[in-house]
Amino acid sequence: MDQVSGGQRDRDLGEDEGKSEAHADTQSLHPMYYRISSNNVVLPIYSVNARETKTWRANSSFGWRISEFCNSTDRAMAEIALKYSPVDNMQYILNSPVQSRLYCSVLVLGTLCSCFARTTPLTQPIRVKVVVVTMFERGEDTGDVPGEFQLWVEREHLDQIFALPAGYHHVRMNKDGVLGMLTGVGTAKAAASVMALGLDPRFDLSKAYWIVAGIGGGDPADVSLGSAVWCDYVLDGDLSFEIDARQIPPNWTTGYVPLRKGTPYQPPAVADYGEMYAINANLVTWAVHLTEQVKLADSENLRKSRARFPGFPNALRPPFVTQGATLSAGTFWHGSKLDEWANAWVRYYTGGKGNYMVAAMEDSGTLQALTFLSQAGRVDLQRVMVLRTVSNYDREPPGTSAADSLQEMVSGNYSAYLPSLEAAQIVADKVVRDIVEHWAERETTIPNGK
């Protein structure tokens, strides 16, 4: 038993003013609380004299409550002990002073806990194979205009609902061990919701694969509308100094300055505040190889939207699967100047290894939470993947102003909204199905794309 701090002390418990001389030397003991590690039962124990009124309660992490002993006397407590425990000389317990009363209390405590251990089986946490992380939903989980969550709920049959009071939204699970969650928009909600799930004792996430599956704004230099990007790096676009661009020196290309630096992109880059996360490269390569032949939806409307970007060969291509970096920021930025900054920011923090391809608003928060959970032994950071599909371009088409281009998207009217949702689900689900179907191997061995 591990002793923990005492709670609110029970005082003024109805002692009779005419306390007998036999009890004159009896002192009321403060409650001592013990946590029973095997089944998380917490009980207060007292030395109870004949004229005191005490209440005994036992609570477990599952919320049940056992019987209460009110207006308890030494004899009543001893009778309980006698009934459940093999004690040879109960009369000695009944007639002894304060020490025997404490002994009696401890005896009852041990007896009750022994009964609980015999009659209340421990509930094992649910073993999760895959966590699918989505960020927003436009309405209900099913049956209306979809957001990122709905297609997963419907197609993966995530029918079992678990409340997640400390997170943004309830989570849902299917019989295959696939759990889907909805974090809410922005790095703060994402970090908080992922942490809430990660610390939830109902779930065993130690071997779970995490797949972020969401949409974002793509760089037309690298991707086309409806394309899917498996991310090898996640960069944070918020952690920085900033000077308004109208006040920057003439030789600066941006008002964003790395923390602890005096000028943009001042070497060496230091990423110990969460500015950059590298995803397991072998796992990313494996996911790309597994999904690169997945046929992604195309349409006449998409072809018309792509045609607005002449001079960008990749932007003109039909949707495809690729690998690149994502930049995560709480601000939904837009325009060619900020696209230039995003590319430079990613090159700076990755030492030229990362190529910015898609912008999003949550992934650095998600990765920060998963990093802390990994440190706590709750998750395996090497089992994390991030997929972003392109719902819109992150900049204006040639010949159009950034303001006019942004105006087209203010209501969420992205050029490839539904195709990007479709791509996020079918590409990521290819990985989910492989993990589930080969769980005997995937549980112990992380796939290697080499």
- The full 3-state SS of 52-115, as one line of letters, equals CCCCCCCECCCCCECCCCCCCCHHHHHHHHHHHCCCCCHHHHHHCCHHHHHHHHHHHHHHHHHH
**Domain locations in the chain as residue ranges:** 2-7+22-119, 126-239+274-442
In this structure, how many other beta carbons lie within 10 angstroms of the beta carbon of residue 132?
A: 29
More confident residue, 399 or 99: 399
Share of the chain above pLDDT 90, in %: 71
In angstroms, the CA 177 to CA 158 distance is 10
Query: Is residue 268 reached through a cis peptide bond, with omega within 30 degrees of 0 on the bond before it?
Result: yes
Q: pLDDT at position 67, please?
A: 33
Q: pLDDT at position 122, please?
A: 55
Highest mean pLDDT among 43-47, 77-81, 83-87, 289-293 belongs to: 289-293
Place of tokens 């995803």: 279
Under CATH, which number does the domain 126-239+274-442 receive? 3.40.50.1580
Confidence grade of residue 104 (pLDDT, cut at 50, 70, 90): very low
In angstroms, the CA 156 to CA 171 distance is 13
Q: What are the structure tokens assigned to 9, written together?
A: 């002390």
Q: pLDDT at position 158, please?
A: 98
Burial 321-353 (b: 16+ CB within 10 A, else e): bbbbbbbbbbebbbbbebbebbbbbbbbbbeee
| pLDDT tens by residue, 50-81 | 333 333 333 333 333 333 333 344 444 444 44
Amino acid 191 reads A
For the chain, how far is it from start to end, CA to CA, in angstroms? 49
E-strand ranges in 209-334 read 209-218, 228-236, 241-242, 256-257, 276-278, 321-328
Confidence grade of residue 411 (pLDDT, cut at 50, 70, 90): confident
In angstroms, the CA 156 to CA 158 distance is 6
- Contacts (Cβ under 8 Å, ≥6 apart) of 75: 50, 94
Q: pLDDT at position 19, please?
A: 38
**Is pLDDT above 50 for 255?**
yes
Confidence grade of residue 123 (pLDDT, cut at 50, 70, 90): confident
Average pLDDT over residues 158-177: 98
In angstroms, the CA 200 to CA 262 distance is 42
More confident residue, 100 or 26: 100
- CA quadruple 342, 237, 350, 264: dihedral sign: positive
Average pLDDT over residues 257-286: 97
Place of tokens 């006449």: 300
In angstroms, the CA 368 to CA 280 distance is 15
Closest by CA position to 128, among listed 158, 89, 107:
158
| pLDDT tens by residue, 372-393 | 999 999 999 999 999 999 999 9
